[in-house]
Amino acid sequence: MSGAAIEARGLARRFGPVVALHPLDLDVPAGRVLAVVGPNGAGKSTLIRLLAGLGRPSAGSVTIGDDGGDRRARRARVGLVAHETLLYPTLTARENLEFTGRLFAVPEPARRAAELLARFELGPVADRRVGGFSRGTAQRVAIARALVHEPALLLLDEPFSGLDARAAALLEALVRGLAGQRTVVFTSHDLERAARLADQGLLLVGGRGRALEASVLADPAALTAAIAPPPGAPA
């Protein structure tokens, strides 16, 4: 598995009169890691959720791998780790994973769940209700959940927020491990980390996106220059 390429053309999202995402062109080759950075409210979550196929774009199109632009096919290729865990608190970790497996028509949900529980070292808590988990543990289950159907693209929305140093380090290692096998897109406020982990970057400000080299992300001067509106655009 080498991941799926992302191709977006004129991708935009409007909520009534407010434009959350201005038409965006995006190209991410298969297996790369893309970091999406920008201030709060810039449209990062909107972009992530559009890529996941959760809502219809107001304009433009996005293709993930060979899905042909069809949203249902896209959902089969994408795994999302959102800000919320998407887990049922009264079910155990194992039950959550098995349910997701069945929901995504995975061939042997119970075995797949056991596999993921082992891989993420969730054995000790596998049969405890998710409602009682710490943020770090819950997030591990959430990531396992996103990987149940072996998606070619993994999306992570602010995954590092609220994690302690150790959990963050583990997550970084995971992202590095997945790169090459899958395409990964994550959003972050931490520019240094973004520069460290990513192959390419996307800067979103006020719903407008600018593609950047990953190395630029950690360079304040270059970044400020990048934020300045291009000539001709409204200030």
Partner 1 sequence: MSSLDRLAARAVRPTGVLLAVAAPVWLWLVAQAPLDSVQGVVQKIVYVHPPCAFAAYLGFACTAVGGALYLWRRDDAWDRFAASSAEVGVLFCALVIATGPLWARGTWGRWWSWDLRLTLTLLLFLVYLSYLLLRSFTEGSERTARFAAVYGIAGLAIVPLNYLAIELAGGRSIHPENLQRGSLAAGMRAPFWFGVLTALIAFAHLLARRLEVSWLAERASREAAAGEEALPWGT
Partner 2 sequence: MRVLLAVLAKDLRVEWRSRDRLSAMGVFAVLVVVIFQFAAPPGSAPETRGHLPGLLWVAWVFSAVLGLNRSFALELENDAWAGLALAPAERGWIYLGKALASLALLGAVQLVSALAFALAFDVPLSAVALPLAAVAALGAVGVTAIGTLFAAVAARTQYREVMLPLLLLPLLVPVLLGAVRATAALLAGEPLPWPPVRLLLVTDAVFLILSFVCFEYVLDE
Q: Give the residues lining the site for partner 2 (CB under 8 A).
A: 49, 52-56, 72-73, 75-76, 78, 80, 82-91, 95, 99-100, 102-105, 129, 145
State yes or no: residue 16 binds partner 1 (CB under 8 A).
yes
Q: Roughly how many angstroms between the first and final C-alpha of the chain, as a whole number?
A: 44
Cβ closer to partner 1: 91 or 223?
A: 223
Q: What is the dihedral of CA 88, 94, 99, 105, to 10 degrees?
A: 150
State yes or no: residue 192 binds partner 1 (CB under 8 A).
no
State yes or no: residue 56 binds partner 1 (CB under 8 A).
yes
CA Rg, the chain, in Å?
18
Q: Which does 107 bind (CB under 5 to 8 A by kind): partner 1, partner 2, none?
A: none
CB of 163 to partner 1, least distance (A): 25
**Helix (H) / strand (E) containing 101:** helix 93-103
Cβ closer to partner 1: 22 or 32?
A: 22
Cβ closer to partner 1: 19 or 168?
A: 19
State yes or no: residue 221 binds partner 1 (CB under 8 A).
no
Residue labelled with tokens 């396992």: 144
CB proximity list for 169: less than 8 A, separation 6 or greater: none
Of 73, 76, 205, 218, the one binding partner 1 (CB under 8 A) is: 205
Please give the C-alpha separations between residue 143 and each of 3, 80, 161, 222, in angstroms, as whole numbers: 17, 8, 14, 33
Q: How many residues make contact with partner 1 (CB under 8 A)?
A: 21
